[in-house]
């Protein structure tokens, strides 16, 4: 099929200009003005609209097992929600189970491939290191994986600094990127034990037992390890003002460190955890304070932070009450499990559909960032960092025709009616937004047309990613 997107304002990470895009099959073949119309070409009129590359969410958790339950969006429902928000590629994390890394990847493919509704790839979690695991890390490239994630928190996931350092060196030698969950895990464990012993069980104690200073220290410690390993490092879900400060310092010293933040850390605070429905905001790391919100916005505005992802990992607020999803009732155990003990509240939030509309309204619409910065943070930069560029994240000849036609004037009262997450709440319920995707194409296929879903399970392709990617 050939189509021409005509008369739109094409927005990339570096420029904006009036023009047309010619798509043949799954690829962009020409970008310019007054393109010759091939016989039989479908015309999509984009006058008054913006034409953006489809978003890339580099941090998602679909169908993630957690303490006997599973996150409520799988690789179909989560991908569908992503598409309605303008995202056409998601990168998920493979849990490090008991078998070989390759076996873990095969198991994740078994849960994802037939359901995938947008294009996708995987990162590999590394939660223990021995000679066998060390020998398998360089082999991940054969599975299209060029990034590994290590943890400084969670008793069943975190590793010693020495093992993290070893992983960084192995990854560097293989041309791979190490990603880091930066929190002070040892201190968290002590504070949680003390809080429960003192009878503190409400959701607000999730945040009070995970102090921001632990994240600040862990971020600097991660940068220190990366410096000594001469390895690139990507710090996920940065959530504190001090982390932004440490990232800025590390980069000023010439270290190969990059950072990501997520929507929840720009808007919500410890006060939200103290609400009667505070479990809705329980995620790790936790939401912080207004000073942190402001500094994270500065990090985006000033280019200190490189990407804007979600850490999408939703659970029902009340899993005893079903919702209707695609015409069928669905109820999954969720945050009600922790009503009497904050440590039993599943950690995670919905967000994959919210990411682009929220950042557009409160970033571009509020004059904090430009449309070009928006594209860089949400599409071009993650594509470059994670080895997908220019196939993804760009509007250039030869790129996949992943395109969002964006209506900058569309106003709506946002919430569950629009997000399409398979869960029973939305953090932005009732928020007034301006700017929203009108049509979304995946490799030239129209998958979202207003509120009509034209995608399907299984149409998403697994993406093999390049190694030795740039540090932005």
- Domain membership of residue 472 (yes or no) is no
- Per residue, the 3-state secondary structure of 106-117, as one string, reads HHHHHHHCCCCC
What's the CATH code of the domain at 271? 3.20.20.140
User: What mean pLDDT comes out for the span 246-253?
Assistant: 98
- pLDDT confidence of residue 344: 98
- pLDDT confidence of residue 38: 87
- pLDDT confidence of residue 84: 98
- pLDDT confidence of residue 24: 96
User: What mean pLDDT comes out for the span 353-380?
Assistant: 98
**Cβ atoms < 10 Å from Cβ of 373:** 19
State which of 372, 402, 418 marks the end of a domain. 372
- pLDDT confidence of residue 190: 98
- Domain membership of residue 387 (yes or no) is no
33 pLDDT higher than 90? no
One domain, residues 347 and 442? no
Three-class SS state of 18: strand
One domain, residues 107 and 21? no
- Domain membership of residue 244 (yes or no) is yes
User: What mean pLDDT comes out for the span 375-400?
Assistant: 98
State which of 340, 372, 404 marks the end of a domain. 372
Total domains in the fold of the chain: 2
One domain, residues 127 and 33? no
- What does the block give as tokens for 339? 């009503």
**Cβ atoms < 10 Å from Cβ of 44:** 22
90 pLDDT higher than 90? yes
Q: Which of 231, 285, 233, 239 has its CA nearest to residue 258?
A: 233
One domain, residues 322 and 430? no
One domain, residues 235 and 349? yes
132: burial class by Cβ within 10 Å (0-12, 13-18, 19+)?
Answer: exposed
One domain, residues 290 and 211? yes
pLDDT per residue as tens digits for the range 180-219: 999 999 999 999 999 999 999 999 999 999 999 999 999 9
- Domain membership of residue 466 (yes or no) is no
State which of 372, 405, 429 marks the end of a domain. 372
One domain, residues 417 and 432? yes
162: burial class by Cβ within 10 Å (0-12, 13-18, 19+)?
Answer: exposed
- Domain membership of residue 378 (yes or no) is no
Return mean pLDDT, the chain: 97
- pLDDT confidence of residue 34: 74
- pLDDT confidence of residue 229: 98
Give the percent of the chain with pLDDT over 90.
Answer: 98
One domain, residues 313 and 354? yes
405 pLDDT higher than 80? yes
416 pLDDT higher than 90? yes
Q: How far is CA 287 from the centre of its chain?
A: 16
What's the CATH code of the domain at 406? 2.30.40.10
Q: Which of the four pLDDT bands, split at 50, 70 and 90, describes residue 35? A: confident
- Domain membership of residue 445 (yes or no) is yes
Q: At how many degrees (to 10) do helices 290-301 and 241-252 cross? A: 30
pLDDT per residue as tens digits for the range 118-166: 999 999 999 999 999 999 999 999 999 999 999 999 999 999 999 999 9
pLDDT per residue as tens digits for the range 311-323: 999 999 999 999 9
One domain, residues 39 and 103? no
One domain, residues 88 and 216? yes
Q: Which own/partner contact pairs does 159-168 have at CB distance under 8 Å and 24+ positions apart? A: 159/126, 159/127, 159/128, 159/129, 161/221, 161/225, 163/128, 163/129, 164/222, 164/225, 165/225, 165/228, 165/229, 166/129, 166/134, 167/126, 167/129, 167/137, 168/225, 168/226, 168/229, 168/231, 168/233
- Domain membership of residue 385 (yes or no) is no
Q: What dihedral do alpha carbons 299, 305, 308, 312 form, nearest 10°?
A: -100
One domain, residues 161 and 206? yes
Q: At how many degrees (to 10) do helices 212-229 and 241-252 cross? A: 20
Q: Which of the four pLDDT bands, split at 50, 70 and 90, describes residue 36? A: confident
Q: Which of the four pLDDT bands, split at 50, 70 and 90, describes residue 40? A: confident
- pLDDT confidence of residue 462: 98
Structural domain boundaries, residue 183: 55-372
User: What mean pLDDT comes out for the span 299-303?
Assistant: 98
pLDDT per residue as tens digits for the range 439-454: 999 999 999 999 999 9
* DSSP-assigned letter for residue 33: S
109 pLDDT higher than 90? yes
- Domain membership of residue 460 (yes or no) is no
One domain, residues 253 and 362? yes
Torsion angles phi and psi, residue 24, rounded to 5: -125, 115
């Amino acid at each position: 099929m050939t189509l021409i997107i005509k008369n739109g304002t094409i927005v990339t990470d570096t420029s904006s200009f009036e023009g047309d895009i010619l798509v043949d099959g799954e690829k962009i073949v020409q970008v310019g003005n007054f393109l010759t119309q091939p016989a039989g070409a479908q015309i999509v009129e984009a006058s008054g609209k913006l034409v953006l590359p489809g978003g890339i969410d580099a941090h998602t958790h679909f169908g993630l097992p957690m303490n006997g339950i599973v996150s409520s969006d799988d690789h179909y429902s989560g991908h569908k929600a992503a598409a309605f928000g303008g995202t056409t590629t998601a990168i998920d994390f493979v849990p490090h189970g008991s078998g070989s890394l390759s076996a873990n990847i095969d198991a994740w493919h078994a849960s994802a491939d037939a359901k995938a509704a947008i294009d996708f790839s995987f990162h590999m979690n590394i939660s223990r290191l021995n000679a066998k695991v060390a020998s398998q890390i360089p082999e991940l490239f054969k599975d299209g994986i060029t990034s590994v994630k290590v943890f400084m928190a969670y008793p069943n996931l975190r590793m010693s600094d020495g093992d993290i350092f070893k992983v960084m060196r192995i990854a560097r030698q293989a041309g791979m990127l190490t990603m880091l969950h930066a929190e002070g895990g040892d201190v968290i464990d002590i504070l949680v034990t003390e809080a429960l012993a003192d009878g503190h069980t409400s959701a607000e104690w999730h945040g009070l037992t995970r102090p921001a200073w632990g994240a600040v220290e862990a971020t600097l410690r991660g940068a220190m390890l990366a410096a000594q390993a001469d390895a690139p490092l990507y710090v996920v879900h940065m959530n504190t003002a001090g982390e932004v400060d440490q990232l800025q310092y590390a980069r000023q010293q010439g270290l190969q460190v990059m950072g990501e933040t997520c929507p929840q850390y720009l808007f919500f605070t410890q006060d939200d955890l103290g609400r009667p429905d505070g479990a809705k905001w329980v995620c790790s790391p936790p939401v912080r304070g207004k000073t942190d919100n402001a500094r994270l916005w500065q990090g985006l505005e000033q280019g200190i932070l490189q990407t804007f992802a979600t850490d999408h990992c939703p659970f029902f607020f009340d899993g005893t009450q079903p919702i209707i999803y695609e015409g069928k009732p669905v109820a999954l155990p969720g945050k009600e499990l922790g009503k009497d003990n904050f440590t039993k509240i599943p950690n995670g939030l919905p967000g994959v559909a919210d990411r682009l509309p929220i950042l557009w309204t409160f970033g571009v619409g509020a004059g904090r960032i430009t449309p070009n910065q928006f594209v860089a943070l949400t599409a071009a930069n993650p594509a470059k960092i994670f080895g997908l560029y220019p196939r993804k994240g760009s509007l250039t000849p030869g790129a996949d025709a992943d395109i969002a036609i964006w209506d900058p004037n569309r106003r709506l009262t946002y919430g569950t009616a629009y997000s399409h997450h398979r869960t029973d709440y939305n953090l932005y319920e009732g928020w007034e937004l301006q700017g929203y995707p009108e049509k979304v194409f995946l490799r030239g296929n129209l998958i979202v047309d207003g509120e009509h879903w034209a995608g399907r399970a299984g149409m998403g392709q697994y993406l093999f990613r390049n190694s030795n990617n740039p540090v932005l």
